[in-house]
Amino acid sequence: MINLLPPSEKELLVQDEKRKPIIIFGFLISAFFVFLSLILFAINVEVETNLEAQKVVFQMEEERLNTQQVTDLKRKISSANKELLVLDSFYQKKVNLVDVIEKISQLLPPNVSLTNFSYQETGFKMTLSGFALTREELVEFKEKLEKEGSFQEISFPASNWVKPREIKFNLTLKLKNEN
């Protein structure tokens, strides 16, 4: 068979032949995504329906469990919570000695050290013993304690101030009850 078409028409036919698979492939992909969307939509509807059914079952089960046993359990829990609140308020009134000792250690000048401490829970009284290299550093420590708002009734015996150097000191103070 003789092809009498001009070359430009022949080229158009060849291009059309090349475009057909691309168009078919694009159509197939579009159809795939449409079907995929429909499947996902159906799954979504099914899941939502099951979820609603589960909610209804849950509400019915919740109503069934709302019996005398549940109210007794709630009463016991309420009683336990009240006891825990009493215990918590008791522990809140306790002094945290770690925090107190940390505050005191932060107030210590470089050449002042503590060698002993004791704490009396009644009255929140604390007795400290230590060593200061100079009287000036001991005065600095006393002033820092007085400026700190957590302590009151700070008392250094007069014997602490006799020696100008290498002082073994004692002091008593009372913790402010912040509760």
Confidence of residue 65 (pLDDT cuts 50, 70, 90): confident
Confidence of residue 95 (pLDDT cuts 50, 70, 90): low
How high does pLDDT run on average in the chain? Answer: 87
Q: Which residue has the higher pLDDT, 95 or 4?
A: 4
Q: Which residue has the higher pLDDT, 68 or 74?
A: 74
Q: How far is it, in rounded angstroms, from Cα 177 to Cα 94?
A: 9
Q: What's the distance, CA 109 to chain centroid?
A: 35
Query: Which CATH number among 3.60.40.10, 3.10.20.740, 3.30.1360.100, 3.30.1330.20 corresponds to the domain 97-175?
Result: 3.30.1360.100
Q: What is the phi/psi pair of residue 111, to 5°?
A: -100, 25
Confidence of residue 1 (pLDDT cuts 50, 70, 90): low
Q: What is the pLDDT of residues 163-177, one digit of tens each?
A: 889 989 999 988 876
Share of the chain above pLDDT 90, in %: 34
Q: What is the pLDDT of residue 48?
A: 96
Give me the residue spans of the domains in the chain.
Answer: 1-66, 97-175
Q: What is the pLDDT of residues 29-49, one digit of tens each?
A: 999 999 999 999 999 999 999
Q: What is the pLDDT of residue 178?
A: 57
Q: What is the pLDDT of residues 110-165, one digit of tens each?
A: 889 899 988 887 778 889 999 999 989 988 988 998 888 888 888 888 888 888 89
Q: Are the C-beta atoms of residues 129 and 135 closer than 8 Å to each other?
A: no
Q: Give CA separation, 123 vs 55, 97, 152, in Å.
A: 59, 14, 12
